Amino acid sequence: MEPAIKQLDAFFKPKSVAVVGATKRINKAGHVIFKNFVENKRRGVFEGEVFPVNPNEDSILGFTCYPTLTKIPGKLELVVIVVPANIVPKIMEDAASKKVKVAVIISSGFSEIGNHTLENKIVATTKKAGIRVLGPNCLGVYDTRTGVDMLFLPETKILTTGDEVVATPRPLKGDIAIATQSGAFGVSALDYLTGRQIGVSKFVSFGNKCDVDEAEMLHYLLYDDETKVILLYVEDIKSGREFIKVAQRVTKKKPIVALKAGRTEAGARAAASHTGAMAGSDKIYDAVFAQTGILRAKDMEEFFDAGKALAMQPPANGDNVGIITDAGGPGIMAVDECELKGLTVKRFSESTIQKFERLKEEGKLPKFATNSNPVDVTGSATSEMFEYATEILFQDPEIHGIILLGLHHTPALQEDYIDKVAKVASKYNKPIVACDIGETEMALHTRFRFDKLGIPAYSSPEDAARAINALVKYGLYLKKNGCLQDYVKSFLKNKQKT
């Protein structure tokens, strides 16, 4: 890893951190951020030293408060800045004197509102001092393993009824890194993934990108052992050539799913007022993503669905999808979405059809079950029927990925079908995704059980089809570049470890 990229380590695992703008006022961002570090330190999660900086306080949360960065004894690696924009240049001069490695400027009021002079002043100071900067106008960094937590959003809130509720939950440890230009969207992503019990490795918010940008962060995440999938939210990409070069390296090792906002003229205008982004032609981004192997999600749902699938299942070796269902309508919906995404849902081979016919003769499938693709085991489905059907499709070399639609309403279907399907799937390196439609307790429980057993589950046939599409498209990209087998080997090895 190049020294400039290695330096980014200090954002995620600093030996010492100072929060400039730390305060006793509990409703202020500076208090929340400092408290995050303090609580994680007391829990033994964050191992570095923590220093509050505020000339108007003697101590905060039991820690001696310093009037300036230069008064802090010893070395300092990371500075988090939460003060008004006009004060930030002086803080950065102090950081330079202190030989700080990295800085995160949470403060807004810079190029996103046209104040380019102030932002350029910061850039000049930090470049001369060799300080790497995230922001300004960003949400900073969250690392599930090191205890770095700059999210200035309290974990709980008090309702008007007096009840305390979880407001901004911190996610579980996991394999997915989130890199985002929008801090607010990033926090919403963390909330969404936490609610779906999907783990996260790292979260990083760029804001105005006065220094560190997507290309450098992707380069850093390439070497991060904790990250297996990268979710990237962008409004514009400034260093286009470098981004392409880095992304082509990363995608051969780790999938990147991108959500590019500002696709329309009005959206681009909104992006410019949000982070100072100058969004270029959307067709150019389509071409760049296709060239580099980045999977582009068209909306938020597809963004998360693809990330979840890529974290849980190996990529496909081809584009032919087999569908198993216990309800005709949802099966048709899955077929339509697959075809619209460019996937193939062709009639099963005669060999596979004959296997299903034998099951009918043996009374293991209903006589009226259809078996041409989708295979519809009907509303008479049992756990064993799903087990048999899944095994047959995994054995078929012409099927590259499987969608399983098991509706919990089916009378004879027991919960153990999930375990039976997962046991079959564990013997193969072919991807499978599941779907159970509904939002009642049983539907949520069914999807949760599938997820826990490593099979990503979704609430609609279309979502399941989009998930298998991500696994197919990424597999075809790896295959084209001659690295599919190596990736699958590495994926399965990591899966066994977890």
CATH number, domain of 211, equals 3.40.50.261
Q: What is the side-by-side order of every strand in the sheet holding 229-234?
A: 141-143, 200-205, 173-180, 229-234, 256-260, 295-297
| pLDDT number for residue 263 | 63
* Most confident of the following: 166-170, 218-222, 492-496: 218-222
Whether the predicted pLDDT of 279 surpasses 70:
no
Residues in the chain: 498
Task: Say yes or no: 419 and 482 in one domain.
Answer: yes
Task: Say yes or no: 359 and 257 in one domain.
Answer: no
**CATH of residue 126:** 3.40.50.720
**Where residue 410 falls among pLDDT bands split at 50, 70, 90?**
confident
- Tell me the residue range of the domain where 398 lies: 314-497
- Does residue 150 sit within a domain? no
- Work out the number of other CB atoms within 10 angstroms of the CB of residue 160: 5
Mean pLDDT computed over 115-130: 97
Domain total of the chain: 3
Task: Say yes or no: 305 and 389 in one domain.
Answer: no
Task: Say yes or no: 303 and 430 in one domain.
Answer: no
State how far the Cα of 466 lies from the Cα of 306, in Å rounded to an integer: 7
| pLDDT number for residue 34 | 98
- Does residue 161 sit within a domain? no
Task: Say yes or no: 383 and 493 in one domain.
Answer: yes
54 φ, ψ (degrees, to nearest 5): -165, 115
| pLDDT number for residue 12 | 98
Whether the predicted pLDDT of 426 surpasses 50:
yes
Buried b or exposed e, range 446-479, using 16+ CB within 10 angstroms: bbebbbebebbbbbbbbbbbbbbbbbbbbbbbbb
Of 498 and 297, which is predicted with more confidence?
Answer: 297
- Does residue 162 sit within a domain? no
- For tokens 């101590």, what's the residue? 59
- Does residue 393 sit within a domain? yes
Task: Say yes or no: 353 and 278 in one domain.
Answer: no
- Last residue within a domain, chosen from 139, 162, 186: 139
| pLDDT number for residue 277 | 46
Task: Say yes or no: 265 and 368 in one domain.
Answer: no
| pLDDT number for residue 274 | 45
Least confident of 61-75, 143-157, 321-335: 143-157
- Does residue 92 sit within a domain? yes
Mean pLDDT computed over 199-203: 96
Task: Say yes or no: 471 and 328 in one domain.
Answer: yes
Whether the predicted pLDDT of 273 surpasses 60:
no
Q: What is the pLDDT of residues 45-95, one digit of tens each?
A: 999 999 999 999 999 999 999 999 999 999 999 999 999 999 999 999 999
178 φ, ψ (degrees, to nearest 5): -115, 120
State how far the Cα of 239 lies from the Cα of 217, in Å rounded to an integer: 12
Query: CA–CA distance from 402 to each of 320, 338, 345, 422, 477 (Å)?
Result: 9, 11, 10, 12, 19
The overall average pLDDT reported for the chain is: 93
- For tokens 């509904």, what's the residue? 438
Q: What is the pLDDT of residues 228-244, one digit of tens each?
A: 999 999 999 988 999 99
Task: Say yes or no: 242 and 336 in one domain.
Answer: no
Mean pLDDT computed over 280-299: 92
Tokens of 113: 């509102």
- CB proximity list for 389: less than 8 A, separation 6 or greater: 324, 356, 365, 375, 377
State how far the Cα of 135 lies from the Cα of 40, in Å rounded to an integer: 23
**301 contacts 188 by C-beta, under 8 angstroms:** no
Whether the predicted pLDDT of 132 surpasses 60:
yes
Task: Say yes or no: 308 and 319 in one domain.
Answer: no
**Where residue 265 falls among pLDDT bands split at 50, 70, 90?**
low
Task: Say yes or no: 416 and 476 in one domain.
Answer: yes
| pLDDT number for residue 170 | 86
Least confident of 16-30, 166-180, 228-242, 393-407: 166-180
| pLDDT number for residue 195 | 86
Task: Say yes or no: 345 and 484 in one domain.
Answer: yes
- Does residue 463 sit within a domain? yes
Q: Is 113 helix (H, G, I), strand (E, B) or coil?
A: helix
- Last residue within a domain, chosen from 139, 161, 182: 139
- Last residue within a domain, chosen from 260, 289, 312: 312
- Does residue 77 sit within a domain? yes
| pLDDT number for residue 158 | 73
- Does residue 157 sit within a domain? no
**Where residue 1 falls among pLDDT bands split at 50, 70, 90?**
confident
